[in-house]
């Protein structure tokens, strides 16, 4: 791992390989991904967009408690998974449900936590996907721990640790980078900079030239990439994963994207930003730019596009069917897995809940 400050600095402009109009952009450091990788990414983007739309509909129908949409950020969701091997790990945030599904987790299981259940819905060990983290940045330390353990065991595992721009203002973010750099853990810290931490704009969070610049203080190489260009994301993230796997230590990648929709269904973005601010980002949609590029080179035709849309609709149908099924709730689950041996306080709280429920049954 280099300690040359100049080599740790990110590029002055985010890496872009396909512009918003679907035209290729020559780049000195990166070629375009191979056509098969781009077509695979396109299919995943279509499914991710349909997943977001269906999840929002399920919130309105009362089948989900909350949904933080990644609409418009699907390129980040797809690329951070596509560059991983089967044995690698993904550490997602609450906004990364589409990435979890792209990793192969059943969509109903992926939404179990956001439905309001007490568990994450899937087996983290079997899927190599950690439970979604709602507290900002706390999971980054867990990700570093998993990567450190894998390195000590001599395993080729790489951990993709995803966070938003708001997480970079948390102490856990900095502690994770420092530990990872000192012990050269194979982690890729992937920041989806969507310009807002709920209602706080990026300008009120940091005065740094970019979030990728924060890595240099810890000896972590940083890079910036267009977060709506899946081709650039595949190359930049893929290179970061390769370096981490080769023993070059942790990597930091900042993707510049935008949160097109509200923070969650409980948020009113009209209170802190204007529609005029959102409009330019709609023209930078990750799906339309890739589709234009693929169609322009006969890599995508109407029949294939219709097939990918049908696959996405099958995904949505699985979501509707699975989340319309009622699940049996047992209050004892709230207390059963907090500690291996319940504390006296937990036993007391459980008894209080049991007493309240018994009174309701009588009345």
- Position 160 scores a pLDDT of 98
Q: Is the pLDDT of residue 2 over 60?
A: no
- Confidence band, pLDDT 50/70/90 cuts, at residue 161: very high
Residues 6 or more apart from 267 whose CB is under 8 A from it? 198, 199
HEC profile of 249-268: CCEEEEEECCCCCCCCCCCC
- Residue 39 to residue 87: CA distance in whole angstroms: 23
Q: Is the pLDDT of residue 197 over 90?
A: yes
- Confidence band, pLDDT 50/70/90 cuts, at residue 292: very high
pLDDT digits (tens, 9 = 90+) for 46-90: 999 999 999 999 999 999 999 999 999 999 999 999 999 999 999
Q: Which of the pair, 155 or 334, is modelled with greater confidence?
A: 155
Answer positive or negative: Cα dihedral of 202, 189, 76, 238: positive
- Position 1 scores a pLDDT of 54
**Number of CB atoms found within 10 A of residue 266's CB:** 11
pLDDT digits (tens, 9 = 90+) for 199-231: 999 999 999 999 999 999 999 999 999 999 999
pLDDT digits (tens, 9 = 90+) for 335-352: 988 899 999 999 999 999
- Position 240 scores a pLDDT of 98
Residues 6 or more apart from 141 whose CB is under 8 A from it? 172, 175, 176, 179
Residues, the chain: 363
Cα 165 from chain centroid (whole Å):
12
- Residue 80 to residue 96: CA distance in whole angstroms: 10
Percent composition of the chain: helix, strand, coil (DSSP 3-state, to 5): 50, 10, 40
Answer positive or negative: Cα dihedral of 318, 323, 328, 334: positive
Distances (CA, A) of 81 to 88, 89, 169, 308, 336: 10, 9, 25, 18, 33
Assign 153 to helix, strand or coil: coil
Q: Is the pLDDT of residue 356 over 80?
A: yes
Q: Is the pLDDT of residue 164 over 70?
A: yes
* Residues 82, 40 contacting (CB under 8 angstroms): yes
* Residues 165, 195 contacting (CB under 8 angstroms): yes
Mean pLDDT of 26-32: 95
Distances (CA, A) of 343 to 113, 304, 336, 349: 25, 57, 11, 10
Least Cα distance to 308 among 41, 55, 101, 3 occurs for 41
Q: Find residue 89's DSSP bridge partners.
A: 159
Least Cα distance to 127 among 102, 164, 96 occurs for 102
- Position 361 scores a pLDDT of 80
The two structure tokens encoding residue 269 = 């973005």
Strand positions, DSSP E, the chain: 89-91, 159-164, 187-193, 196-197, 200-201, 221-226, 251-256
Distances (CA, A) of 271 to 92, 165, 203: 28, 20, 17
Least Cα distance to 225 among 257, 268, 265 occurs for 257
pTM: 0.94
* Residues 346, 82 contacting (CB under 8 angstroms): no
Mean pLDDT of 264-273: 92
């Amino acid at each position: 791992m280099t300690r040359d400050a100049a080599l740790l600095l990110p590029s002055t402009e985010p890496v872009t390989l396909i512009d918003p109009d679907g035209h290729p952009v020559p780049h000195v450091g990166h070629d375009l991904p191979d056509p098969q990788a781009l077509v695979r990414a396109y299919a995943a983007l279509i499914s991710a967009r349909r997943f977001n739309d269906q999840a929002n509909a399920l919130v309105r129908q009362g089948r989900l408690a909350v949904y933080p949409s990644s609409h418009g950020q699907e390129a980040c969701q797809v690329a951070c998974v596509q560059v991983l091997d089967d044995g690698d790990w993904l550490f997602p945030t609450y906004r990364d449900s589409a990435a979890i599904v792209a990793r192969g987790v059943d969509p109903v299981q992926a939404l179990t936590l956001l439905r309001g259940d007490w568990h994450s819905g899937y087996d983290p060990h079997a899927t190599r996907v950690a439970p979604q983290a709602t507290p900002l940045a706390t999971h980054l330390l867990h990700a570093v721990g998993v990567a450190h353990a894998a390195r000590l065991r001599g395993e080729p595992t790489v951990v993709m640790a995803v966070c938003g721009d708001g997480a970079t203002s948390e102490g856990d973010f900095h502690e994770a980078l420092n530990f990872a750099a000192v012990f050269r853990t194979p982690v890729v810290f992937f920041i989806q900079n969507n310009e807002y931490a709920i209602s706080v704009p990026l300008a009120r969070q940091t005065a740094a030239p970019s979030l990728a610049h924060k890595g240099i203080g810890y000896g972590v190489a940083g890079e910036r990439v267009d977060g709506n260009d899946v081709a650039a994301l595949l190359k930049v993230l893929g290179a970061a994963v390769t370096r981490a796997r080769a023993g070059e230590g942790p990597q930091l990648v900042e993707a510049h994207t935008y949160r097109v929709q509200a923070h969650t269904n409980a948020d009113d973005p009209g209170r802190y930003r204007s529609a005029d601010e959102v409009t330019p980002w709609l023209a930078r949609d990750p799906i339309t730019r890739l589709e234009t590029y693929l169609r322009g080179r006969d890599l995508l035709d109407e029949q294939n596009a219709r097939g990918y849309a049908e696959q996405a609709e099958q995904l949505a149908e699985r979501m509707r069917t699975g989340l319309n099924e009622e699940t049996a709730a047992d209050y004892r689950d709230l207390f059963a897995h907090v500690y291996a041996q319940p504390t006296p306080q937990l036993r007391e709280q459980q008894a209080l809940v049991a007493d309240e429920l018994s009174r309701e049954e009588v009345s």
